[in-house]
A and B are shown apart, each in its own frame.
Chain A
Amino acid sequence: MYVYDEHDRQMAAERVAQFRDQTERALAGELAEDEFLPLRLQNGLYVQRLAPMLRICVPYGMMRSDQLRRLARITRDYDKGYAHFTTRQNVQLNWPALEDVPDILAELAEVEMHANQTSGNCIRNTTTDQFSGVQSDEIADPRPYCEIIRQWSTFHPEFAFLPRKFKVAVNASEQTDRAAIQVHDIGLQMVRNEAGDLGFRVHVGGGLGRTPMVGPVIRDFLPELDLLTYLEAVLRVYNRYGRRDNKFKARIKILVKALTPEGFAEKVEAEWQHIKESPTRLTPEAIQRIQGYFTEPDYAAIDNATDLLASQRFENRGFDQWLTHNVDTHKKAGYAIVSLTMKKTGTPPGDVSDKQLEQIADLADEFSFGEIRVTHQQNVVLADVRQDRLFELWQAITPMGFGTANLNTLTDVICCPGGDYCALANAKSIPVAEAIQRQFDDLDYLYDLGNIDLNISGCMNACGHHHVGNIGVLGVDKKGQEFYQISLGGSSHHDASIGKILGPSFARDEMPKVISKIIDVYVDKRTEEETFLDTYRRVGIDPFKERVYA
């Protein structure tokens, strides 16, 4: 994992001092509210329905145990003792006091953390696959490139006041896209060209929100050394020509659509020609230097624990289910990737207490070289667990509430904080998630249904990624009443697609029943091998409509 050197430490400290100065001026009335707004947003601070909300950056989802412990302490000392994992691999505190925020940022800086650019119209945290570096089918480890992008985008003087927010995601697996890159402002898919050189396929202009779009490819192959100059060209074209007259048309996807992907790509190429040989062009040494922080941990030379696991599975059905659903194949013999699910029914998806943060830190130290990854599905990954210790780990996490064996099933809901916390929300999202989780509490039935992405957002801003849920739920406000609109057929993976709206929306208490009907249609219509999405794509939306609105 990346470790700060003296330059990073110095800039982090200067940033804290800067924000302290800005906060003092704001509290003294020297900065008008609209002048302070982008400054506090670019330090992660929103003013929310009940209190300020602080979004802390977890660069590409990676955290060390000492950082988790510091977060736990911060939630105790400055908040109500819990935190929330977000759909962009970050962490949120829901109740900090404005005047405490500079101190919180100082405490974070001590453990190499920050809240830089987690909000505001700037380049946000770069996200990636939570299985980076430990899966066998990736082109290369994407994390060094994420770190290179993090450094380039941090306090970029030209791009601090873009037309709108800007999100970059990187994916390196050939078969799977766990980073949802095609619904990002820039999605980078790592590829090798025919000569075997490493590079990126560049998607620009994907996104959710009011106008959901799958990002078109504007360059099939960008050599790795050209990464930053090309990003700079894309951002410059967007900064200059993106719409600023209408907030709802200000994302880069609107510009790409207006110019057409080809027209946009031409403009970027023209800009890039001027800067591609500039000193911002990466060097092999610079990449190698960052790669040096993402080397393999000290793996033991061991074999797969196949026999041991088989007998443990045989003796314990709960372990068997958990192993099947929450544990993935590791590139190293004898190791496994474990997902801790933060989706226990009755707990808002992604919420963790200070105690749980410390428990996760202890688990990381004990089982996974002291590191964890936060996923955009709001779970936590221990990436390097010895297979012969999986049973021990499972026994440890079950009483903690992290062992619910529902990963990627219907009840592994992606869900924004919604109207319970968020000032932007039209409707609550957490109670909907909970009601659906209660309705589908039979694990065997969930397994029979297979992988289903159920994504819930409390408003059009789509933090719960509802457009790309196989089943998406969007909270809407109808004359002061909370209603929920359903869409079907979305996907955030390599086959990315935007869901189609089923029809008129429903009251909250109808939701579990409606979801049941949708599931029933799938069960009736599916062939043996089909996932929910496969069936939907084959039969279309009509059978679902007929059943739900019958």
Chain B
Amino acid sequence: MPNVISPDGSIRQDNWVVVPRPAEGESLDIPADQPALIPADLWLAGYEHFTGRQEIGVWFDSHDEPEILDGRVNELPVIAVNFPKFSDGRGYSIGRLLRERFGYKNELRAIGDVLLDQLQFMKRCGFDAYVLRADKDINKAARCLNFFSQGYQAATDTEIPLFRRRAS
């Protein structure tokens, strides 16, 4: 069961599994007794079957286009974004688009190569659940989520950039 970090640094466990993209010709291997995150395009392809199910969420890979879920994001209890390598920054844009453009309200989870020093960026881009890579010290997450007390820019966490806050 993965340890999941919340934006305040607290740690909880849940049993969401990430179902990998099936090979060509294979079908999705969804576990019977656990909530599952499936590739977002496959959720859409099986929309009639999956919609409204609270134990089915989706995941995007970093090169995927979150635009495919425009208008339907809030039908999902969990959306995860995979960071295949921590230095792949596309997931930050995906996070902001899901939250700020498509109005996604439920859990946004960072999965993959999730390390301590990127957590605060993820938080600012709308992620509110982080599955830290297993070899990293989860007890340091709270500190790393809060290195900075504020930012210059608007992002998902702060709609108002510093230049407007200074003016008021």
Is the beta-carbon distance between B101 and A274 smaller than 8 angstroms?
yes
* Docked-complex contact A278 and B154, CB < 8 angstroms: yes
Bound-state Cα–Cα, A186 to B118, Å? 26
| B150 & A11 in contact (Cβ 8 Å cutoff) | yes
Known: A148-B163, A157-B120, A162-B89. 9 other contacts (CB 8 A): A21-B143, A154-B152, A157-B124, A159-B89, A161-B87, A240-B90, A283-B163, A286-B163, A286-B166
B164 to A155, Cβ gap below 8 A?
no
Select A10's contact among B88, B90, B93, B150, beta carbons within 8 Å. B150
Instruction: For B148, list chain A residues within 8 Å (CB).
Output: 11, 14-15, 18, 155
Chain A positions 155 through 167: 1 when the CB is less than 8 Å from some CB of chain B, otherwise 0:
1111111100000
Whether A158 and B86, one on each chain, are in contact in the complex, defined by CB atoms closer than 8 angstroms, is no
Please give me the residue from chain B that is nearest to A22 by CB atom.
Answer: B117
Please name all residues of chain A whose beta carbon is closer than 8 Å to the beta carbon of B81 when the two chains form the complex.
Answer: none
Interface string of B82-106 (1 = CB under 8 A from A): 0000111110110010000100000
A282 within 8 A of B: yes
With a 10 A CB-CB cut-off, give which of A15, A154, A155, A236 has the most chain B CB atoms.
Answer: A155
Q: Which of B118, B125, B150, B164 contacts A7 (CB 8 A)?
A: B150
Which residues in B have their C-beta under 8 angstroms from that of A14? Answer: 147-149
**B153: Cβ under 8 A from any A Cβ:** yes
How far, in angstroms, from A160 to B164 measured CA to CA in the complex? 23
11 example contacts (A-B, Cβ-Cβ < 8 A) are as follows A7-B150, A21-B147, A121-B87, A157-B92, A157-B120, A161-B118, A239-B92, A244-B90, A274-B101, A283-B167, A285-B167
Q: List the A residue with the shortest CB-CB distance to B91.
A: A161
Q: Which residues of A contact B88 (CB under 8 A)?
A: 161, 244
A100 at the interface (CB under 8 A from B): no
Q: Are A279 and B154 in contact (CB under 8 A)?
A: yes
Encode B138-164 as 1/0 by CB contact (under 8 A) with A. 000001000111111111000111111
- Nearest 10 A/B pairs, CB to CB: A161-B89, A157-B124, A286-B163, A157-B121, A18-B147, A158-B92, A151-B152, A14-B148, A280-B154, A157-B155
Interface range, A side: 35 or more
Closest residue of chain B to A155 (Cβ to Cβ) is B151
Residues of chain A within 8 A (CB-CB) of B122 are 157
The docked-state distance in angstroms from the alpha carbon of A148 to that of B151 is 14
| Bound-state Cα–Cα, A23 to B129, Å | 26
Residues of B within 8 A of A393 (CB): none
Cβ–Cβ contact B152 & A155, under 8 A:
yes
Other-chain contact of B89, A39, A155, A158 (Cβ < 8 Å)? A158
* Max chain B C-beta neighbours (<10 A), residue from A14, A22, A158: A158
For A157, the closest partner residue in chain B by CB is B124
| Least CB distance, A280 to chain B, in whole angstroms | 5
Which residues of B lie under 8 Å from residue A244 when comparing CB positions?
Answer: 88, 90
- Kindly list chain A residues whose C-beta atoms are within 8 Å of the C-beta of B96: 158
- Shortest CB–CB separation between residue A155 and chain B, in angstroms? 6
B residues near A293, Cβ cutoff 8 Å? none
| A444 CB–B CB distance under 8 Å | no
